[in-house]
Amino acid sequence: MISGKKIYSFLPWVVFALAVLICRLLCIHFYRDGISISWDQWEGEAIGLYPKWLAGTLGIHDLVAGHNEHRLLITRLYNLALFYLNGNSWSIMLQVRSNALLHVLTLAIFLYLAGREFTTWKIWVLSLVGCLVFSIPYAYENILCGFQSQFYFLELVSILLLASASFLNGKNALIIVLFLAMLAPFTMASGPLAIFVALVVLAIKLGIQHGDRTRERTTYLLILVVTVIACLAIVLTPKVAGHDQFKARNLHQFFEALVQVFSWPLPSNLLAAFFMEAPLVVFAYYFLTRIKKATAQEIFLFSLILWVWLQLASLAYGRAVLVWSSRYKDLYALSSVLGVTSILMMLNPIRGSKISWREIMGGLWIMIMAAGFLFSIREVMNQLEFVKKFTMEQKKSLGIYLTTGDESALHNKTQLNMPHPDPERLKWILSKPEYKSISDKACLDVSIPIKSH
């Protein structure tokens, strides 16, 4: 039987998961008018996935085909599973609700693994801070779009890969790390970054395990194979020439974008960037000064910090002009929570009433960080209203075309008010019987009126 103490130890994570999931589902409920078929979904699902599945012509090349710079194998399999379980019917609402559950599960795993050796009070601090940080819908693009599960799979696979490399040894590590390393490139274009961090973890463990011949041989073999996987993943990443406009054009633009992502959720400036990253830097320094005595938990936290830094740097370079896009803020939030985790990791258990300067400084950092998130709520709510407004315009235009056939409803619109960036392409999609039957169900699912047949 499971003891009461064991059940109580999971209570903080249950509280976290329920609180964040309820907030996500409430956001979906109150802003369902902001949910529609995204531009990516018309091409990625309405054409490229479901009709081929129903026709029996879907092949592995379709599942691993490039979508912009990404190979979204896991997202496609996930969407297909939802499509099949829903009676071969495309439901955007099912996708966004399932995505909410997927992300909450990912975050619960992240916090549990990051704080698995914490004392009870530290676990509660981490859980409650996580409730605050992850309950705010700053990443509303991901919350309200059924297509965005790839961000959650990127987090999930990367976290599990780094945890496996940090905590497991021997044949268990060999099999699980290899499996997750092969999955990582099929999450998003930045998936291979976790593979490179896993290599760093394995190299650190190799130094710690010096003298254990069996483990050394296994680790050397693992490093060799994972290196090959990482190199292949980079070589096979799709290149999109039209996306060069989003990249940093020089070092100055890259640095400015980096300051923006490191500063969040505080106002963007160099001081805020240093402040937000300070706990992570201090822990990294602490870790490197005693690397040969590092525990598996410390190695894991260091790997998460390194991975998040690489993710943010890749965004600052690859999406320098779009770093404030809400879809990337789920990754920024992980950096903030890792700051809290780093502080808690370096604090001694509280004894009596004496509080050290480290506890005071750590508490101040957490309060200022939390204030940054709290002050962002009004702006987030305004952005959600804006998204709701232009999505309703998209639905209105698409509804007019579907019910009347009036082509002018799809033309002469501002970009945000267009249901698809290419009206002629959208008309073609909606005219094809194999696409139309699938799209009609999805349109009804998100309250877009269509002509009855």
pLDDT tens-digit readout, 405-426: 888 888 887 877 888 888 888 8
Residue 1 has pLDDT above 80, yes or no: no
- Res 57: pLDDT: 92
Count how many Cα atoms sit within 13 Å of the Cα of residue 313 in the half-sphere of its side chain: 8
Mean pLDDT of 280-300: 93
Tokens of 372: 């940054």
Coil, helix or strand at residue 311: helix
Mean pLDDT of 376-388: 94
Report pLDDT for 352: 46
Tens digit of each residue's pLDDT (9 = 90 or more) over 215-258: 677 778 888 888 888 888 888 888 887 788 888 899 999 999 99
Does the CA dihedral 143-375-121-160 come out positive or negative?
A: positive
Residue 351: pLDDT band with limits 50, 70, 90: very low
| Residues 421-439, mean pLDDT to the nearest whole number | 86
How confident is residue 279, by pLDDT bands cut at 50, 70 and 90? very high
Domain boundaries, the chain: 5-101+382-445, 148-238
pLDDT digit string (tens) for 193-225?
999 999 999 889 887 766 666 667 777 888 888
pLDDT at residue 348, as a whole number: 62
Q: Give the mean pLDDT of 105-131.
A: 94
Confidence of residue 76 (pLDDT cuts 50, 70, 90): very high
Question: Is pLDDT of 321 > 90?
Answer: no
Helix (H, G, I), strand (E, B) or coil at 70: strand
Percent of the chain with pLDDT over 90: 59
Angle between helix 149-167 and 73-85 (nearest 10): 120
